[in-house]
Chain A
Amino acid sequence: QVQLQESGPRVVKPSETLSLTCTVSGGSIGCDYCYWSWVRQTPGKGLEWVGYISASGSGDQNPSLKRRLTISPDTSKNQFSLNLSSVTAADTATYYCARVKWEVLDYWGQGILVTVSS
């Protein structure tokens, strides 16, 4: 059973960089046809796809975030990470990591609420 766990700071100051890590267990991030994704949800709102990456480093990002976003794999640790620069209050959200296989998000982490506040 694949499990994902998000970790990182829960409070980030405006204009700084939000950095999160997703640790994958029960399976390899190098699995066939797998991508590893970030999805966020602002309080009381719907789901927003942030981006995804494969173990080899190929992937895509939400065009609205692309300028500020980096998603990277770390195959040695079976992890992948998210870095979102120049954050504002609008980036306050619960961030979920998830596995994408055949374009479906089949396994999800529990989510981590990140608040942008001084």
Chain B
Amino acid sequence: EIVLTQSPATLSLSPGETATLSCRASQSVSSFLAWYQQKPGQAPRLLIYDASNRATGIPPRFSGSVSGTDFTLTISSIEPEDFAVYYCQHRANWPSLTFGGGTKVEIK
């Protein structure tokens, strides 16, 4: 079974800085990885699918990339509303769905 490991667990940044979040798969996987944002008291929201495609309405400061088993979510010039928890998800264990443990992006 493929495991997704997200790092760091917490990222402390000031508005305007760049956030780099990692999601590493335990073995080789396809690029069908998604990223979600969850704010307190809200449901997760789809940000990125297929590793690098932004979902509808997601601003261009959010970008995704992949290199081997390492997936990266980058938030350029982070804004106050971007402070949240971010999860990655992959279909590698399809028909099961797998989530990473999450990265909390907090205000420094």
Contact = CB atoms under 8 A, between A and B. Distances in A.
Given A46-B102, A105-B36, A108-B45, A60 B87 contact: no
Given A47-B87, A96-B43, A111-B43, A106 B55 contact: yes
Interface stretch (B13-21, B61-69, B71-79, B93-101): B93-101
A39 B46 CA distance: 14
A105 B87 contact: no
22 contacts: A46-B87, A46-B102, A47-B99, A49-B96, A49-B98, A52-B97, A59-B95, A60-B96, A96-B44, A98-B43, A102-B32, A102-B49, A103-B94, A104-B89, A105-B34, A105-B44, A105-B46, A105-B97, A106-B49, A106-B55, A110-B42, A110-B43
B21 to A, nearest CB: 14
User: Top 5 nearest A-B pairs by Cβ distance?
Assistant: A103-B91, A60-B95, A108-B43, A49-B97, A47-B99
Given A104-B34, A104-B46, A108-B45, A37 B97 contact: yes
B7 to A, nearest CB: 14
Interface secondary structure of B, over-half rule: loop
A103 B97 contact: yes
Contacts of A26: none
Contacts of A39: 44
Nearest to B91: A103
A59 B38 CA distance: 26
A63 B1 CA distance: 12
Interface residues of B, number: 23
Interface secondary structure of A, over-half rule: strand
Query: Which of A59, A105, A108, A109 has its CB near the most chain B CB atoms (within 10 A)?
Result: A105
B84 to A, nearest CB: 13
A86 interface: no
A3 to B, nearest CB: 11
Query: Which of A47, A63, A100 has its CB near the most chain B CB atoms (within 10 A)?
Result: A47
Interface in B16-62: 32, 34, 36, 38, 42-46, 49, 55
